Amino acid sequence: MNVLLTGGLGYIGSHTCVELLNAGHRAVIVDNLCNAYGSVLDYIEQITGIRPRFYEADAQDRAAMERIFSENEIDAVIHFAGLKAVGESCRIPLAYYRNNLDSTLTLLETMEKYGCKRLVFSSSATVYGPDNPVPYNEEMPCHVATNPYGWTKAMIEQIIRDYVTANPDFSAVLLRYFNPVGAHESGLIGDDPNGIPNNLMPYIARVAGGQLEKLTVFGNDYDTPDGTCLRDYLHVVDLAKGHICALDYAAVHTGAEAINLGTGNGVSVLELLHTFIRVNGVDVPYVIGGRRDGDLARCYANAEKAERVLHWKTEKTVEDMCRDSWNFIVKHTK
Ligand code: NAD
Ligand code: UDP
């Protein structure tokens, strides 16, 4: 199958591209490089032996998107392109709404014009909001996001559902990711945020590598076994494989289907930190600080639907996630 990946040079897109090529599919990438490096294309080629066709363009740019669809027979799209930092989305909400919504609308209009009817969308566990109990399942109401980034995901899900209602022969899989971490085992691609990371695993890895002095654990007074927050961390390579299963599903089903991609387990901040220290034999200085605004004590998936519908479940362990995250930093900062 010929698959267009919007945002395909980013963290999750690049790993998914590798798994797509490994599975024998062809990949075309569009990315405006606002949060990625062109060199990722070389790394994808080093890992797979195949260099995907790449367009440096904005997914909001209708002419560019039409050119991509007219030059390639696109069978399906995986839509990763988007801005994703929760804190930043509170500071510059309009940029988040503009980028994330416009790119989706332009993509759907272009898909319609070129008769492409299969879409996999990068949604997020953030759509479950603060009120649902864990573990989250796909039937729960998703009416209240806690930040503009989360709202863009909830709104895009709604836009896609409305489009599918009007076009019943269209197939959309709304993948709700939990907390992707880790890196490809080659150490060539991984999570490489600009500036100081917001997310836990890249922060830990940079403290271990000496680029940051210490980790602040945001609160140890939550109602959880060790007082720190629980999250559903999953290895990015497992997550990437979930997209191939979603494409296969979309090839034989129509309609819009939301599906969680997670392990189903909650892991605490301190568990992740101590696992990282143990498996990598490194020091990660840390202090306990106050709670971070907006953090939920618990966020983990009910992962049954993915197993039932997509025949997908995670295979890698928390140890694998910590080892591969560190391997990426070691190889990357050489
Ligand atoms: P990322 O920032 O590494 O990748 C996104 C890519 O999209 C980047 O390469 C960026 O340059 C590109 N991009 C952004 N806007 C674009 C536009 N208008 N046109 C073309 N390219 C554009 O992020 P990621 O972690 O790989 O996330 C991929 C998707 O998954 C995002 O939609 C994100 O919101 C979603 N998601 C990520 C997480 C996570 O923890 N990483 C969790 C849930 C959902
Ligand atoms: N966290 C932390 N210190 C940091 C970054 C994150 O203690 O420097 C905690 C955060 O409070 C949360 C967990 O790690 O409980 C995961 O945070 P992340 O931002 O990676 O994911 P999210 O909270 O968006 O699920």
The pLDDT tens digits for 115-166 are 999 999 999 999 999 999 999 999 999 989 999 999 999 999 999 999 999 9
pLDDT tens, residue by residue, 94-128: 999 999 999 999 999 999 999 999 999 999 999 99
State the pairing for strand pair 267-268/179-181: unpaired
Q: Which atom of ligand 1 is nearest to the CA of 191?
A: 3
In the structure, what pLDDT confidence band is assigned to residue 84 with cuts at 50, 70 and 90? very high
233 strand-pairing partners: 179
CB 280 within 8 A of CB 201: no
- Cα–Cα distance between 196 and 80 in angstroms, integer? 22
pLDDT of residue 194: 84
pLDDT of residue 143: 82
pLDDT of residue 334: 58
- Cα–Cα distance between 8 and 30 in angstroms, integer? 6
In the structure, what pLDDT confidence band is assigned to residue 332 with cuts at 50, 70 and 90? confident
Report the chain's C-alpha Rg in angstroms: 19
Q: Which of 34, 96, 136 to mutate to test the pocket of ligand 1 (most atoms within 8 A of CB)?
A: 34
CB 37 within 8 A of CB 193: no
In the structure, what pLDDT confidence band is assigned to residue 333 with cuts at 50, 70 and 90? confident
Ligand nearest to the CA of 234: 1
Q: Ligand 2, atom 18: nearest CA belongs to which residue?
A: 199
Among all residues, which ones are annotated catalytic? 149
Helix axes 39-48, 11-22, angle to 10 degrees: 30
Q: Rounded to the nearest 5 degrees, what angle is found at the Cα of 300, between the Cα atoms of 294 and 304?
A: 150
> What mean pLDDT comes out for the span 77-97?
97
Is residue 45 predicted with pLDDT exceeding 90? Answer: yes
Is residue 329 predicted with pLDDT exceeding 70? Answer: yes
6 sits in the region (left: phi over 0; alpha: psi -120 to 50; else beta) called: beta
Q: Ligand 1, atom 16: nearest CA belongs to which residue?
A: 81
Global confidence as pTM? 0.98
- Cα–Cα distance between 135 and 84 in angstroms, integer? 23
Q: Ligand 2, atom 7: nearest CA belongs to which residue?
A: 217
CB 173 within 8 A of CB 121: yes
How much of the chain exceeds pLDDT 90, in percent? 97
- Cα–Cα distance between 201 and 40 in angstroms, integer? 20
Residue position matching structure tokens 């949604």:
123
How much of the chain exceeds pLDDT 70, in percent? 100
Q: Ligand 2, atom 5: nearest CA belongs to which residue?
A: 200
Three-class DSSP category at 55: strand
Task: Show the ligand 1 pocket: residues with CB < 6 angstroms.
Answer: 6-7, 9-13, 30-36, 58-60, 80-84, 99, 103, 122, 124, 177, 179-180
- Cα–Cα distance between 197 and 211 in angstroms, integer? 11
